[in-house]
Structure formats: structure tokens, C-alpha cells
Amino acid sequence: MKRIIIIILTCLLTTMAVMAQNGLNINRLFDGRYKKAAGATEIIVTGSQAREIGLTVYHSVSVTDKTQAEIIENLVVKDGVQAVDKEVEYRNGQLYYGFYVLSRQHSSNRYIFFLNQNLARKAPKNNVTLIYMEGKVNADKIKKLIRK
């Protein structure tokens, strides 16, 4: 009986832990605020189209507004603290490029890409892009995906 209770409690605690884990800081940016904003592009791809590129979720936001760029960078950096692996490049104290491998969730790998083209050396552009990707693919395959 004790064993059964322990198993049930373990299952419940695990479920609660998984449910408590779901919040990423960048999720705040995907609340629809950029859907109607000028100078912003938001892309959402899930389901069959996402599966064609080996993902389950593709969600990106690109903005030209520099104040928004700062907000995005801050949230990305916050999530980056929890990343299990990352490649980042700072320029003039600002995040220029970031590739973050987040902890797995619901047996899916999660990745964040960030690029601030304002800080590009060659042909800087007033554009900041954030991409969130989720899927079974590993980090190497994600990198191959962006090289296609």
C-alpha cells in the first residue's frame, strides 16, 4: 500500500513540476502585441508545415522599433540564464547574436535564436529578430536547418 501511495505521489509531483515549468519570459512577447503593430513581423507555424522542417512549433518576431528591441533582448537574456547550452555574441555591451538550447519539455527540444542587426558590422539594419523553435530535432540538426 505504501509503495502504491509513493508511486501515486511521485506521479502527481512530477506532473505538477512539469506544469510549473512551462513559463518562458519570451512567451510574453507572443501575446499578440506584434500582430497589428507597424514595423513588426510575427510568424507562427505549427502542425504539418512545422513538421516538414522537423519542428512542432516555429514562432518568430521581428521588430524595427529600438525600444521593443531592448525589451526583447532583456527577456531573451533572462531565459538564456536557464539555457543548458548557448552561443552568444555581445557587441558594445548589447546582445548581437544568441543561440540558446533550453531544457527539454514534454519530450521536445526547445531553442531560442536572437539577432540584433543594428549591431551588424556589415550593412547594419534596424531590425531585431527572435525565433523560438520546438521539436524533436537536436541542436546540430537545428543548425543544419538554418544552413539549408
Binding site for other proteins (CB under 8 A): 1, 4, 7-8, 11, 15, 34-50, 52-53, 56-58, 60, 62, 87, 89, 96-97, 99, 106, 113, 115, 117, 120-121, 129, 131, 143, 145-148
- Cβ of residue 96: shortest distance to other proteins, in angstroms? 7
- Cβ of residue 39: shortest distance to other proteins, in angstroms? 7
- Cβ of residue 88: shortest distance to other proteins, in angstroms? 9
Amino acid at 16: M
Local structure of 93: helix, strand or coil: coil
Phi, psi of 143 (to 5 degrees): -65, -35
Q: Which is nearer to other proteins, 44 or 84 (CB)?
A: 44
- Cβ of residue 70: shortest distance to other proteins, in angstroms? 18
Report the first-to-last Cα separation within the chain, whole angstroms. Answer: 56
Whether the Cβ atoms of residue 47 and residue 134 lie closer than 8 Å to each other: no
Q: Which positions ≥6 away from 37 have C-beta within 8 Å? A: 63, 65
Q: Which is nearer to other proteins, 53 or 71 (CB)?
A: 53
